[in-house]
Amino acid sequence: MNASPISKISLEGRDFFVKRDDLIDPHLAGNKYRKFYTLLQTPKEKFTKIISYGGTQSNAMLAIASLCQKKEWEFIYYTKPLSAAQRENTAGNYSEALALGMKHIEIEESLYRDFISSLGVLKDENTFIVEQGGAVEEAKRGLEVLAQEIREQVAVDKNHTFKAVATPSGTGTTALFLALALPEYRVYTTPCVGNVTYLKEQMTALCEIPQNLFILEPTRKYHFAKPYREFYQVYEKLLESGIEFDLLYAPGMWLALQEQTKESVLYIHSGGVSGNASMKERYFKKFKVAN
C-alpha cells in the first residue's frame, strides 16, 4: 500500500498537518488499520476464525469485520445485550459490521465478565482472539510502519515542518507504540476513556512509557461517548477546514492541542468516521444540531 498523504489545514488561524490514515479504506482505516497491520499481513491459511468482544458501536469491531471479510475468516463478536435503541438503530458501525458477515452473540450482563475471561477455552490453533480495542503487542509493527512513512514523507518535502505528532487515546496502545517508534518527535495524546491515571496504567501494562510521550490532561472532565457542545463545535470547524474527524476521540485531542500546545503539530487521523452516523443521532437528540 502507498503511504497515506499528509494534508495541511487551518483551525482558528493555526495551521496543522494531518496524516490522512482515514483515507486508507472505508472500513479498515485509521489507527485500527495500523493496529491490525500484523493480522492483515498474516496469510489466510493461518486462521479460520477470529473472536473478539466489546462495545456494539466499536470502531475496532468494524475494522475486524472488514479484515475477516477480506481474509474469508469467520468473525464471532460477543457483547452485553443490546439496548432497545441499539436494536432499532440501523446506522453506524454495528449494522455495517453485520453486513460484512460478523456473527454477533449477546451475553447476559451477569455472566459477561466471567464469559470474557474464559474466552481462551473456545480457542483452537485456527482461532485468534483479539482483546478489546485491539490492545495487543502485535500492534507494534503497524505503528513502526507508520513512523517510517512519516520519516520518508518528511525527507522528501521541506514544507513538512512539524515538531510534534498527536493522536487521541482509548487504551493508549496507538500513542505508546507510536512514541516508541518515533523517538525524534514529541508525541502528544490525551485520555478519551477514563483519566490520566487509568491511561498510564493501561500503557504501563504493555511497556515502560517513553520520555517523548506527553499525556495532556483535559481541562474539564469528559465521559466517554457522551455528547458535548464544544466537541461538536470543533468537529464542525474541522469539517469546514476540509476534513471529517470522529466524534468520540478526536474532539478531546483537538481541544487539548489548541489549549495546551503551541508548536507545529502533525495530527495522526485515527479514523472512526463511520461511527459518526450513530453519534450524530445522539447529538441531534441532545442539542438539536442539524444531522
Residue 19 in grid coordinates: 496524516
Cβ closer to ligand PLP: 68 or 166?
Answer: 166
- Block residue for cell numbers 506527553: 214
**Between residues 164 and 253, which has the closer beta carbon with respect to ligand PLP?**
253
Residue nearest to ligand PLP (CB): 272
Which bin fits 73, alpha (ψ -120 to 50), beta or left (φ > 0)?
beta
Task: Please tell me whether residue 133 binds ligand PLP under the rule CB under 6 A.
Answer: yes
Site for ligand PLP in 37-66 (CB under 6 A): 59-60
* Nearest to ligand PLP of 74, 244 (CB atom): 244
Using alpha carbons only, how large is the chain's radius of gyration in Å? 19
Of the ranges 106-114, 121-129, 232-240, 268-276, which one interacts with ligand PLP (CB under 6 A)? 268-276
Torsion of CA 286, 288, 289, 291, to 10 degrees: 100
Which helix (H) or strand (E) segment holds residue 78: the answer is strand 74-79
48 versus 198: smaller Cβ distance to ligand PLP: 198
Q: Where would I find the beta strands (DSSP E) of 141-194?
A: 164-166, 186-189
Residue 173 binds to ligand PLP (criterion: CB under 6 A): yes
- Least Cβ distance, residue 172 to ligand PLP (angstroms): 5
- Pick from 169, 274, 276, 278 the residue near ligand PLP by CB under 6 A: 169
- Provide the 8-state DSSP code for 5: P
* Phi and psi angles of residue 114, each rounded to the nearest 5 degrees, phi first: -65, -40
Q: Which is nearer to ligand PLP, 4 or 174 (CB)?
A: 174
Stretch in the footprint of ligand PLP (CB under 6 A) among 80-88, 149-157, 164-172, 277-285: 164-172
Q: Can you read off the three cell numbers belonging to residue 225?
A: 461517548
What order do you get walking across the sheet with 103-106 strand by strand? Answer: 103-106, 74-79, 49-53, 127-130
To ligand PLP, the closest distance from the beta carbon of 199 in angstroms equals: 8
- Please give the DSSP secondary-structure letter assigned to residue 133: G
The closest alpha carbon to 140, from 170, 187, 180, belongs to 180
Determine the interface stretch with ligand PLP among 83-91, 98-106, 169-177, 179-187 (rule: CB under 6 A).
Answer: 169-177
Figure out which of the listed residues 170, 188, 190, 251 binds ligand PLP, where binding follows CB under 6 A: 170
Q: Is 174 in the site for ligand PLP (CB under 6 A)?
A: yes
Nearer to ligand PLP, 158 or 212 (CB): 212
Give me the least distance between CB of 110 and ligand PLP, in Å please: 27
User: What is the rounded distance in angstroms from the CA atom of residue 3 to the CA atom of residue 104?
Assistant: 33
Stretch that binds ligand PLP, among 30-38, 123-131, 145-153, 233-241 (CB under 6 A): 30-38
Give the Cα separation of 149 and 166 in Å (integer): 15
Q: Which of 272, 274, 276, 278 binds ligand PLP (CB under 6 A)?
A: 272
User: Quick one: 158 exposed, middle or buried, by C-beta within 10 A (0-12, 13-18, 19+)?
Assistant: exposed
Binding site for ligand PLP (CB under 6 A): 30-32, 59-60, 133, 168-175, 246, 249, 270-272
